[in-house]
């Protein structure tokens, strides 16, 4: 097995083009499982087989737990993306951040606008040993380039279709 390496900082180079340029597509299929309800008994599987998890309703929502849930998966994705973007920016600036941690909290709750549901996210970054002013600048710049942060701030293009 080859040694793992972070992606090149050239990924930070600006793209110039008139249209969206796809770099990678992840495809995950979710089924409802035993209860015919993905949040309660679902299974999420990626098309390449790398992700295969049971989805379970957390105890806070009346479930038994015993599996992951969409909020945990979203929090993991957001934190991983933010940490990756932060790492690339730090490398380009020649700032060492070996102990960087990004913690994402995703809260599922009631939406006062429509009375249904919404999510609130909180991202906490720890950069031990990095000057606070420099750390704040890295975090601000990461917020500008991290696709998850951009999605949370600006929305995301979403196409829903019936197969």
Check residue 55 and report its DSSP letter: B
**2: pLDDT confidence band, cut at 50, 70 and 90?**
confident
pLDDT digits (tens, 9 = 90+) for 14-67: 999 999 999 999 999 999 999 999 999 999 999 999 999 999 999 999 999 999
Question: Does the predicted TM-score (pTM) go above 0.75?
Answer: yes
Q: In CATH, what number does 69-156 get?
A: 3.30.300.20
Vertex 146: Cα angle to 145 and 151 (nearest 5)? 105
CATH assignment of 27-68, among 3.30.450, 3.40.50, 2.20.25, 2.40.50: 2.20.25
Q: Where are the domains of the chain?
A: 27-68, 69-156
State the Cα–Cα distance between residues 156 and 148, nearest whole angstrom. 9
Give residues with Cβ within 8 angstroms of 59, minimum separation 6: 65
Give residues with Cβ within 8 angstroms of 41, minimum separation 6: 32, 33, 34, 35, 54, 55, 56
- Rounded to a whole number of angstroms, the CA Rg of the chain reads 18
Supply the mean pLDDT for the chain: 96
State the Cα–Cα distance between residues 53 and 43, nearest whole angstrom. 6
What's residue 9's pLDDT? Answer: 95
pLDDT digits (tens, 9 = 90+) for 82-132: 999 999 999 999 999 999 999 999 999 999 999 999 999 999 999 999 999
What's residue 43's pLDDT? Answer: 96
**1: pLDDT confidence band, cut at 50, 70 and 90?**
confident
Which among 30, 27, 23 is positioned nearest to 7, based on CA atoms? 23
What's residue 61's pLDDT? Answer: 94
């Amino acid at each position: 097995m080859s040694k793992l390496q972070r992606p090149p900082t050239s990924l930070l180079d600006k793209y110039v083009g008139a249209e969206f340029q796809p770099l990678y597509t992840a495809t995950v299929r979710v089924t409802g499982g035993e209860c015919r309800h993905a949040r309660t008994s679902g299974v999420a599987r990626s098309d390449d087989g790398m992700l295969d998890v049971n989805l379970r309703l957390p105890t806070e929502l009346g479930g038994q737990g015993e599996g992951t849930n969409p909020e945990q998966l979203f929090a993991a994705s957001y934190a991983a993306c933010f940490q990756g973007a932060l790492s690339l920016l730090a490398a380009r600036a020649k700032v060492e951040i070996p102990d960087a941690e990004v913690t994402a909290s995703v809260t599922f709750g009631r939406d006062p606008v429509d009375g249904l549901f919404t999510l609130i996210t909180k991202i906490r970054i720890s950069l031990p040993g990095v000057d606070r002013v420099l750390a704040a600048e890295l975090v601000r710049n990461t917020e500008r380039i991290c696709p998850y942060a951009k999605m949370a701030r600006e929305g995301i293009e979403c196409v829903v279709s019936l197969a």
